Amino acid sequence: MARKYFGTDGIRGEIGKAPMTPDFVLKLGWAAGKVLAAKGSSLVVIGKDTRISGYMLETALQAGLVAAGVNVRLLGPMPTPAVAYLTRTFRASAGVVISASHNPFQDNGVKFFSSDGTKLTDEMELAIEDYLDRELETVSSEKLGKVERVDDAAGRYIEFCKRAIPTEVSLEGLRIVVDCANGATYHVSPHVFSELGADVVKIAASPDGININENCGATSLGLLQKSVTEYRADLGIALDGDGDRLMMVDHKGEVVDGDEILGIIAAHKQKEDSLGDHVVGTLMSNLGLEKAIEGMGLNFHRADVGDRYVMEILRKTGGFLGGESSGHIIVRDRISTGDGTIAALQVLHAVIESGKTLYELKQVMTKYPQTLINVRIKEKIDLDANTAIQQAVKDAETQMGTRGRVLLRASGTEPLIRVMVEAEEESETKQLAEMIAEAVKKAAS
């Protein structure tokens, strides 16, 4: 059944416009509370990032939950993965994060975690949507929920992160620049790395409610690249506004993306014999990563884009490591969701144990050139049923053989068909991508 409000990562939008209005979020809190109460649940924890609108939405959300008879604990500004962890720690029925991740400050959103710190099932989200279409009814006064603030939430998460690498491992001798995107990690992640011994230079760690993700963080690496070379650091770490995404910069100022990070962690954990046989990427993961993982004698799986789908395949295969090119990295034997700080610690562990630089470690994979063309369409096209498009794809795949791959997919948010081709030679990717894009344009005309 199609979902009316929930997207792939909760409910998100511009503040003041539906659905991100105080009255809707209050109703959302009540609807979620009714679903949880029906399952005998009584406690929900709420965290948020540093957007100015977070205070307003937090107030509305807790009012709705209390009206449904659910108790609430407020964590304050906390990274998304910290909320997932604290949901389990407090034995809560669910965790809620008020955040729009890497979006600008004008946007905000609400996403939920189940009691085990993973994303809600589709069935739970549909049940919440069902209540959203009902009349709000407050429980009797004696059954109203209560609200408490958790004062030591940041300290709990810092200690949890520090346990993500062996106690005998020290980061002494490493100078690290940490870009907190003026977001939810500003008061936790720099402490994690410095308490483990690193010399930390923190940047974009002064949130004012409107500067989150503004020319900084995992989606805008220029500031970090400049800072790493300016401070002569060994490497740089960039987190996004809610702390679940990681991008890195080596000592040369070169970007190390999610695929390369995944490859580094996989190689290190395999040497530690703590990886298992399966690594999960997505449809967008570079072919170079797939070949590198298979070269380690491991099975590489491609999930749909979205960390919830990566997690689904990890569960099915029993794998411990998966992620996306954009930097959502799940280290499943450490935490049940993407966590930029935990993933960074795995890379730092590899740097310390190998004695190699981040630049040297990223050579574990060779990136294949990639060409992406977005073709705008007026009406929906059945890509599988269009013979001309399928023939163009087949011709491209035949020409490349095992040297490349084609990805053709409709955008989930815009009227676009995305044509992506990877191959060993950049000229070949451009030629074949243009050929397929032309077939799509003709079908769309």
Got the DSSP string for 129-189?
A: HHHHTSPP-PPPGGG---EEE-TTHHHHHHHHHHTTS-TT---TT-EEEEE-TTSTTTTTH
What percent of the chain has a predicted confidence (pLDDT) above 70?
99
Residue in this structure with the two tokens 């451009």, named with its chain if needed: 430
Residues 198 and 135 in one domain: no
pLDDT at res. 417: 93
Task: Answer yes or no: is 181 within a domain.
Answer: yes
Task: Answer yes or no: is 6 within a domain.
Answer: no
Tens of pLDDT, residue by residue over 69-115, are: 999 999 999 999 999 999 999 999 999 999 999 999 999 999 999 99
Task: Answer yes or no: is 1 within a domain.
Answer: no
pLDDT at res. 410: 86
pLDDT tops 90 at residue 1: no
Residue 138 structural domain:
11-151
Residues 248 and 263 in one domain: no
Contacts of 44 (CB under 8 A, 6+ apart): 32, 33, 36, 65, 70, 71, 72, 73, 92, 93, 94, 95, 96
Q: Characterize 59-81 residue by residue with b for buried, 16 or more Cβ atoms within 10 angstroms of its Cβ, and e for exposed.
A: ebbbbbbbbbbbbbbbbbbbbbb
Residues 20 and 51 in one domain: yes
Residues 100 and 208 in one domain: no
Residues 35 and 143 in one domain: yes
Going across the sheet that includes 329-331, the strands are 299-303, 278-282, 321-323, 329-331
Q: Characterize 97-131 residue by residue with b for buried, 16 or more Cβ atoms within 10 angstroms of its Cβ, and e for exposed.
A: bbbbbbbebbbbbbbbbbbebbbbeeebbbbbbeb
Q: Is residue 415 helix, strand or coil?
A: coil
Residues 39 and 141 in one domain: yes
pLDDT tops 70 at residue 268: yes
- The domain total for the chain is 4
The values of phi and psi at residue 98, to 5°, are -100, 100
Average pLDDT, the chain: 95
pLDDT at res. 412: 67
What percent of the chain has a predicted confidence (pLDDT) above 90?
88
Domain end, chosen from 236, 255, 274, is at 255
Task: Answer yes or no: is 157 within a domain.
Answer: no
> Cα 202 vs. chain centroid, distance in angstroms?
21
Domain end, chosen from 201, 222, 255, is at 255
Is 41 an annotated catalytic residue? no
Task: Answer yes or no: is 230 within a domain.
Answer: yes
Q: Which residue type occupies 274?
A: S
Q: How far apart are CA 248 and CA 361, in angstroms?
A: 12
pLDDT tops 70 at residue 251: yes
Angle at alpha carbon of residue 338, lines to 1 and 115, rounded to 5° = 60
Residues 137 and 172 in one domain: no
Selected residue with higher pLDDT from 37 and 320: 320
Whole-structure pTM value: 0.92
Q: Is residue 384 helix, strand or coil?
A: coil
Task: Answer yes or no: is 422 within a domain.
Answer: yes
Domain end, chosen from 364, 393, 422, is at 364
Residues 334 and 433 in one domain: no
Q: How far apart are CA 225 and CA 72, in angstroms?
A: 41
Residues 308 and 379 in one domain: no
Residues 140 and 247 in one domain: no
pLDDT at res. 414: 76
Catalytic member of 53, 101, 285, 326: 101
Residues 69 and 138 in one domain: yes
Residues 118 and 180 in one domain: no
**CATH number reported for the structural domain that contains residue 57 in this entry:** 3.40.120.10
Q: Characterize 343-370 residue by residue with b for buried, 16 or more Cβ atoms within 10 angstroms of its Cβ, and e for exposed.
A: bbbbbbbbbbeeeeebbebbebbebbbb
pLDDT tops 70 at residue 413: no
Task: Answer yes or no: is 53 within a domain.
Answer: yes
Mean pLDDT value across residues 384-405 = 94
Mean pLDDT value across residues 190-210 = 98
Tens of pLDDT, residue by residue over 352-378, are: 999 999 999 999 999 999 999 999 998
Pair 413, 428: CB distance under 8 Å: no
